[in-house]
Amino acid sequence: MEMKERLKIPRQPMPEQEPKVRARNFDEVPLGYTPEIAKLEALRCIQCKKPACVDGCPVEVDIPGFIALVAEGDFIGAAKKIKSTNALPAVCGRVCPQEVQCEIQCVRGKKAEPVAVGRLERFVADFERAAGEVSIPKIPASTGKRIAIVGSGPAGLTVAGDLVQLGHDVTIFEALHKAGGVLVYGIPEFRLPKAIVASEVDYLKNMGVKVETSNVIGKVATVDELFEEGYDAVFLGTGAGLPTFMNIPGENLNGVYSANEYLTRSNLMKAYLFPEYDTPIVHGKNVAVVGGGNVAMDAARTAMRLGADNVYLVYRRSRQEMPARIEEIHHAEEEGIQLNLLTTPIKYIGNDKGWVTSMECLRMELGEPDDSGRRRPVPIKGSEFIWDIDTVVVAIGAGSNPLVQSTTPGLDTNKWNYIIADEETGQTSREGVFAGGDIVTGAATVILAMGAGRKAARAMHKYVMSK
Amino acid sequence: MSAKILEKEQLSENVFRLVLDAPKIAKKRKAGQFVVLRIHEEGERIPLTIADANADKGTLTIIFQTVGKSTNHLSELNVGEELLDLVGPLGKPTHVEKIGTVACIGGGVGVAPVYPITEAMKNAGNHIISIIGARDKSLIIMEDDMKAVSDEIVVTTDDGSYGFHGFVSQALEEKYLLQDKKIDLVVAIGPVPMMRAVCDVTKKYNVPTVVSLNSIMVDATGMCGACRVSVGGKTRFVCVDGPEFDGHQVDFRELIDRQRIYLKEEKECMDHYCTCKQQGKGVK
């Protein structure tokens, strides 16, 4: 096709489930590109000599390279190309904020819309998996070096994938009974099917990565004991910790959840399938979700799927300041989530059995910008009002998990008890100990954790090989 | 990791003891810590205090009471079968030191978690007064085990069918505190109303009291926050800050309410389980 023709192709939309239907099921919302749509979209890429999109990718995927293969119809080749730098394309294609990474850099976006890099990545990974042709890269001869990875979330999985491909003996220790970290306990099935996470973990296992689930490092073994057992380097990717609450009255009432608990019950424990699965969850009719990030969107959309009549998203700033991806907000609104902006809860009110029945809120207005650069919400005096709700999900972030830090002498942490690690190498204050992901940065995104894992893997390789 | 059941014993009508093959946890565990287990793929994560362990043999003992679906299912497993997952040791260990006289109080199946603490306190050189109680004689468990690690022991039953007629809290007050017998520390574990009653008594006499809380948990590793309790007006997390807390600071009322969150669902799950069994469907 001539370039002129190619420039005329519009950005291909993603087919997805109808909002009314999907708001009541847990099946994946986007249905994915067909091979025809994928090829068409791939033709929109003009194959820049100096592709800016790659600079926008924390794991430096060869974006024009894989897209060229898609345009030729070599989908398996495209999958291999991505996997040479990204072990988790099916995950990234779904949960990366492409609009602020690769796609924002796309030159096509200047005059028209950017190439749909994320949708293409997802298509390629899904095609490879469905074709049953997931190829295992050739692993070089063993270096004899042993690597322990603590936590099997996006950071840990990336480190594992990178280091096993360099010939190291890699073991992941996971505290929960399933590998995947936030990909299995946090992100809902309708956004990231758990079968996909499992197959990405299996891919790593097939390359030789050992995964030890139900092993809490800091308890069953300390970091020092891992070194005593003969590990040459340790990566800490323990992720988000205990949920943050607002410290307002009534937060411990029955029916008030942290997003971590609400999502863990539904996603990891499959409470939405109760009683076929044993773990229960409260099916609220009028649910308030407090927060404006992606986790709040996930919780709100989960509440809708659990059968709520009304789901209110309560956020103290305005739409512009919401940290959630625009696409997630859009999906949530389509599904009937009601946004209540510039509003903050100040108190939860319960009945004599300890169940939440209503909440008192304040209206806010935006003042001067704060440290984050966003305009600070200021309460409007006398704007208190009471709202009848039966379930609350507090999604305002998480602190750090204390188990590893408190049992690893000499491991420096900051005032929030996050691990201090070098931005470029993940090196901590302890020799041979590297860290990355939410346990270093605080709550961030899957791809940033993967980017940190990528950098740490490079530094860990250098470290163990020079020992 | 999975764990094989090596021994099984029924201690009373609805209390069971399982010895599990769990060498890594057995080596590491300390008094006061707990494990989380899962029986099968659809199962919930069940937190249970470690009742005993043998590091040389690599075994771990758990004692539990059948209350809902999961514990009933657990009680139906036999020697040789495997638990799908076992994780631990979790929670902070008991702070053990020689302080003088320690009263170790266990109510009902709460005697099981109190036993390893009693043993540790005894080994640290304390004078041990044990008070164990239950509704009636048939529900008293581990009397001989407790005797072996105690200097004095009182057994109580609510109905008077054995030992002291009354609650453990009453025995503590009438037999010791009212008589001006010096107790330096009380450790009380059992149903929440029992722990609250003990704390009400010890507060009166100003005796420091440690309780071990069994709040509802999901991950139990410091991530979900399901287990939060108010202690001294502050929210604390039982799985990583506990399970032991200063009993005089715990908001027991809130804890009782929070333990009842899923009463309806627990019944529904149990009914579903019974129906499946009656219909001869594969029990999950």
Query: Does A174 or A240 have the greater pLDDT score?
Result: A174
- The pLDDT tens digits of the residues spanning A286-297 come to 999 999 999 999
Alpha helices, DSSP H only, in A44-140? 52-55, 63-72, 75-83, 89-95, 102-105, 108-111, 117-130
* Cα of B128 to nearest chain A Cα, Å: 29
Q: CA B11 → CA B37, B119, B155, distances in Å?
A: 20, 20, 16
- The answer to whether the bond into A188 is cis (omega within 30° of 0) is no
Q: Which of B220, B181, B197, B198 is nearest to B85 (CA)?
A: B220
- The pLDDT tens digits of the residues spanning A262-284 come to 999 999 999 999 989 999 999 99
Model's pTM, two decimal places?
0.92
- The predicted model gives A339-346 an average pLDDT of 96
Q: Please, what sign has the CA dihedral across residues A409, A410, A414, A415? A: positive
Q: Are B235 and A403 in contact (CB < 8 Å)?
A: no
* Cα of A193 to nearest chain B Cα, Å: 17
- The predicted model gives B32-41 an average pLDDT of 95
- The predicted model gives A13-25 an average pLDDT of 93
Q: Residue type for B256, please?
A: I
The predicted structure's pLDDT at residue B284? 55
> Quick one: B280 exposed, middle or buried, by C-beta within 10 A (0-12, 13-18, 19+)?
exposed
Rounded Cα distance between B117 and B188, Å, is 10
Q: Is A341 strand, coil or helix? A: coil
Q: Are B260 and A265 in contact (CB < 8 Å)?
A: no
Q: Are A220 and B262 in contact (CB < 8 Å)?
A: no
Query: DSSP secondary-structure letter at A375?
Result: E
Average pLDDT for chain A: 93
Rounded Cα distance between A51 and B153, Å, is 79
Rounded Cα distance between B27 and B60, Å, is 9
Picking from A219, A268, A275, the nearest residue to B272 by CB comes out as A275
Report the chain B residue with the minimal C-alpha distance to residue A280.
B265
- The pLDDT tens digits of the residues spanning A243-263 come to 999 999 999 999 999 999 999
User: Chain B residues contacting A, CB < 8 Å?
Assistant: 1, 24-25, 28, 38, 42-45, 69-70, 84-90, 218-219, 221-226, 228-230, 235, 237, 240, 253-254, 257-258, 260-262, 265-266, 268-269, 272, 284
Picking from B254, B266, B269, the nearest residue to A252 by CB comes out as B254
- The pLDDT tens digits of the residues spanning A185-199 come to 999 999 999 999 999
Query: Does A156 or A94 have the greater pLDDT score?
Result: A156
Q: Is the pLDDT of residue A460 over 90?
A: yes
Rounded Cα distance between A438 and A430, Å, is 19
The predicted structure's pLDDT at residue B281? 64
Q: Is the pLDDT of residue A407 over 80?
A: yes
Q: Which helix (H) or strand (E) holds A357?
A: strand A356-369
Q: Is the pLDDT of residue A400 over 90?
A: no
Cα–Cα–Cα angle for B4, B10, B15, nearest 5°? Answer: 100
The predicted structure's pLDDT at residue A240? 81
How much of chain B, in percent, has pLDDT values that exceed 70?
98
Rounded Cα distance between A191 and A199, Å, is 16
Rounded Cα distance between A167 and A164, Å, is 5
| String of DSSP letters for B81-146 | -EESEEEEEESPPP-----SEEEEEEEGGGHHHHHHHHHHHHHTT-EEEEEEEESSGGG---HHHH
Query: Which chain B positions have a beta carbon within 8 Å of A245's beta carbon?
Result: 225, 235
Q: Is A258 near chain B, with CB under 8 Å?
A: yes
Query: Which chain B positions have a beta carbon within 8 Å of A275's beta carbon?
Result: 265, 268-269, 272
**Backbone φ, ψ for residue A424 (5° rounding):** -90, -25
Q: Which helix (H) or strand (E) holds A236?
A: strand A233-236
Rounded Cα distance between A168 and A235, Å, is 13
For an interface test with A, give the residue of B73, B224, B227, B253 to mutate (most A CBs within 10 A): B224
How much of chain B, in percent, has pLDDT values that exceed 90?
89
Q: CA A92 → CA A191, B101, B282, distances in Å?
A: 11, 60, 38
The predicted structure's pLDDT at residue A84? 84
- The pLDDT tens digits of the residues spanning B143-168 come to 999 999 999 999 999 999 999 999 99
Q: Which helix (H) or strand (E) holds B53?
A: strand B46-54
Picking from A241, A270, A275, the nearest residue to B269 by CB comes out as A275
* Cα of A278 to nearest chain B Cα, Å: 5
- CB contacts < 8 A, A to B, total 129
* Cα of B154 to nearest chain A Cα, Å: 35
Q: Is the pLDDT of residue B268 over 90?
A: no
Do B228 and B237 form a contact (C-beta atoms < 8 A)? yes
Q: Is the pLDDT of residue A241 over 70?
A: yes
* Cα of A86 to nearest chain B Cα, Å: 27
- The predicted model gives A293-311 an average pLDDT of 96
| Half-sphere exposure of residue B34: CA atoms within 13 angstroms, side-chain side | 28
Q: Is the pLDDT of residue A71 over 70?
A: yes
- Residues contacting B267, CB < 8 A, separation 6+: none
Q: Are A354 and B24 in contact (CB < 8 Å)?
A: no
Q: Is the pLDDT of residue B282 over 70?
A: no
Q: Which of A387, A310, A301 is nearest to A344 (CA)?
A: A387
Q: Is the pLDDT of residue A313 over 90?
A: yes
Strands B15-21 and B59-65: antiparallel
Q: Is A353 near chain B, with CB under 8 Å?
A: yes
Query: Which chain A positions have a beta carbon within 8 Å of B218's beta carbon?
Result: 261, 264-265, 268-269, 279
Q: Is the pLDDT of residue A320 over 60?
A: yes
Q: Which of B3, B12, B26, B254 is nearest to B109 (CA)?
A: B12
Query: Which chain A positions have a beta carbon within 8 Å of B90's beta carbon?
Result: 216, 219
Q: Is the pLDDT of residue B283 over 80?
A: no
* Cα of A95 to nearest chain B Cα, Å: 21
* Cα of A37 to nearest chain B Cα, Å: 38
